[in-house]
Amino acid sequence: MTYSRRNKVEEQQEARLKAEQIAAICKNLHISLDPIDWQDDGMHARVTINNIQISDLLDLSNQDDDSILRRIQIKLFEHAALATIGARPGLKALIWSPVTVIQQPQEFLSLWIITIETDERVAIAEYIRHGERVYEPYQLNTHDEQQLASLFGPVHTGEYKVGDTITIAEHDRRCTGEIIYILPPGKAIASRKNSARGYHTIQGKAYTNDVASRYLVDCHDGFPHIVNQSQVVG
């Protein structure tokens, strides 16, 4: 909605109501917003958390609870990842990838891999501490089999073995690394082409997504890559 000087009061009334609604939604999500300056900026008032800009009232007022949470997570995961690597000003995140872990009590709410423009992969975990969501770097010890098992379950077997060096294709990029763990079969990556049928041919062998193992591959670019058998190209 576009406001003129004549209906500034009307805008302020709507902005106050929207600010209260969004603050209440965020409180239920264990998120505390900074004060929203709806008095001066109306529906274009910035919505921030610890001075990190999320969006504005006009944008968030059109979102449901889940969408608001996702907007906030995207910004806070990115901010935490950039702070973790001491990124130079202007550097941005390119890819937000959730890590699926086994169904057992974990110390975090969720675990994500944030890929920066430099191709560095930073693991950020989302926690609830003292009633608030916080976002912190997650440290994975690739030599700690107990930690790996707590995240991904018992080690499996696959076409390749732990310790093998392979080349993988992921997000239009190839990298070579060492297999450090073998995961149970999982779903195909949605962004990959030709995976809708769940059938791939790799090096002369056919695999379906529900039977082929997945691999945790350390390419020395941050958190290891979790790839399907179909992504192994060499």
Whether 61 and 44 have beta carbons less than 8 Å apart is answered as no
For residue 102 the two structure tokens come to 């086994």
Beta strand segments in 44-203, E: 46-49, 52-56, 93-98, 110-116, 121-129, 132-137, 165-170, 173-183, 199-202
> What are the residue ranges spanned by the domains of the chain?
5-62, 76-137, 145-231
* Predicted model pTM: 0.83
Report which of 185, 177, 151 is spatially closest to residue 233, judged by C-alpha positions: 177
pLDDT of residue 102: 87
pLDDT of residue 10: 83
Distances in whole angstroms, Cα of residue 210 to Cα of each of 28, 50, 188, 229: 37, 43, 9, 11
Q: Over the stretch 99-147, which tens digit does the pLDDT of each residue have?
A: 999 877 899 999 999 999 999 999 999 999 999 999 999 999 999 999 9
- Average pLDDT, rounded, for the chain: 86
pLDDT band at 4 (very low <50, low <70, confident <90, very high): low
Distance in angstroms (rounded) separating the CA atoms of residues 191 and 216: 19
pLDDT of residue 190: 38
